[in-house]
A and B are shown apart, each in its own frame.
Chain A
């Protein structure tokens, strides 16, 4: 149960210290540390990353969601091609989907052309890929549960009772 609470806090903000989490949950800091270590050991926590508002950075970033239709391999299903695609550092997310296509991936590169090249040279050429459809991201509104576009203002200025 404390495990769930610690995870919930970390998912909210992975930078809370053990002590801060301990205070918020009413358990000792070293207990929190033990729980986190255990979660890491079990592979439940796979890593910690930062959520960046890329639009605020000077450098160019273009992202696209790419749909792939592929032929599954006997015995291996979709895992074989998924493993290959996972290796590309440009690929941020990769999912096997139900519905009209098989794999969905989110990739980010510097230019539109880079993405086009990636699709043409790296993806379309894979043996089992039947077709691709590339959808460019025009604007990011929300990422990992965080509003990364609109700045929320506190409108509560009127009553202090």
Chain B
């Protein structure tokens, strides 16, 4: 059978992720120092794991309501209110999802009609564009610049808006750049959107991992809540990637439609994970703070290390990535990553995997121990030395 004729055209047109190549090479090598992963190295706090075990022992293993355990939705609303000053009704404005990823998926699907344009701020997380394309929407990338710390500026936003623009995806703190948008930057964006009907998907999955100050939610900017779908989750803040649990909050009519898709596609988020998440929200503030402190140390250490090696790096203030420029080597991102991997067995991710504007940069994760980072810096130093010969 010729499956290419059978399979959906839209699915086949989706380009495979650019990260895959390095990932496969790195995993086939011995003694690789990877700086590639996009997940915390901390284990889920023990009290959260214990809470999950307890519910398993008690046999709490049935489905929950489609939108998630009421207790969890209330805990989420309370958390968002106390941490970021945004108020959501746990009854109608919160849906618990399978990771932040599902929140992104059902938000895009609930909003788009074929032909609608979606602005995505690049470089960014790799999942937005494929989902938009599957839905028949049109991806409109907005390249951001290193000199602006990869923030979206109001001018850049204005230049890409057309009468077909339906949605802006605002991914801050940003994967892969580590860039953040402070209150004043968000206010400038809000100013552009205020008199439009453009919706905003604010992917705030890295909100807790904000350094040199506190995260500001786009929904907290006056007048923006009515157009914002806030997506967050437990993976990064609570080191709970494998539990697959996130949530989306927004205006009731939007959440109702998102919940409809969720109901038919997923039924409900994993029950054990939902019980664990209640515990995480109630009792893990200290764990979060100590993880953030540790990331912050590594961040300072690795930024300093790259700058000393001559790979310029602005100070990223969020997530656990740095995005140094490799332009001084004269190589493309792809060449740099491949050569570094083969000659020194250090794996980093080319910036181009996150959009064309990532050319000239690499993403380096510091979700690793200082010892690991020290060894990586040593090897990269050798690599650059040999290049400069």
Contacts and interface: CB of A to CB of B under 8 A. Distances in A.
Interface stretch (A20-28, A59-67, A106-114, A132-140): A20-28
A24 B301 contact: yes
Most chain B CB inside 10 Å of its own CB: which residue of A23, A154, A156: A156
Given A13-B370, A161-B127, A156 B37 contact: yes
Interface string B24-52: 00010000001011110100000000000
B126 interface: yes
B17 A23 contact: no
Contacts of A157: 27, 37
A160 B34 CA distance: 10
B38 to A, nearest CB: 5
Interface string B85-126: 000000000000000000000000000000000000000011
Contact of B297 (A25, A154, A159): A25
B190 interface: no
B175 interface: yes
B131 interface: no
B383 interface: no
A156 B304 contact: no
Contacts of B125: 161
Interface string A118-161: 00000000000000000000000000000000000010110111
Contact of A160 (B37, B241, B298, B370): B37
A20 to B, nearest CB: 7
A24 B19 contact: no
Contact of A26 (B36, B41, B175, B300): B300
A108 B301 CA distance: 38
Contacts, number: 39
B300 A159 contact: no
Nearest to B17: A161
Contacts of A156: 37, 39, 41
B349 interface: yes
Contact of A20 (B22, B37, B301): B301
Contact of B300 (A23, A154, A161): A23
Contacts of A160: 19, 22-23, 36-38, 349
Nearest to B305: A23
B366 to A, nearest CB: 12
A20 B297 CA distance: 10
A161 B38 contact: yes
Nearest to A20: B301
Given A13-B370, A20-B301, A24-B300, A159 B39 contact: yes
Contact of A159 (B34, B37, B41, B370): B37
A156 B320 CA distance: 15
Contacts of B27: 157
Contacts of B19: 160-161
Given A13-B370, A154-B41, A156-B39, A161 B126 contact: yes
Nearest to A24: B297
Nearest to A156: B37
Contacts of A161: 17, 19, 38, 125-127, 175
Contact of A23 (B37, B127, B241, B304): B304
A9 B298 CA distance: 12
B165 to A, nearest CB: 26
Which 5 interchain pairs have the tightest Cβ spacing? A24-B297, A23-B304, A160-B36, A156-B37, A160-B19
6 contacts: A23-B304, A25-B300, A154-B34, A156-B39, A156-B41, A157-B27
Given A157-B27, A161-B125, 14 more contacts: A9-B297, A13-B370, A23-B300, A23-B304, A24-B300, A24-B370, A154-B34, A156-B41, A159-B39, A159-B241, A160-B19, A160-B23, A161-B17, A161-B175
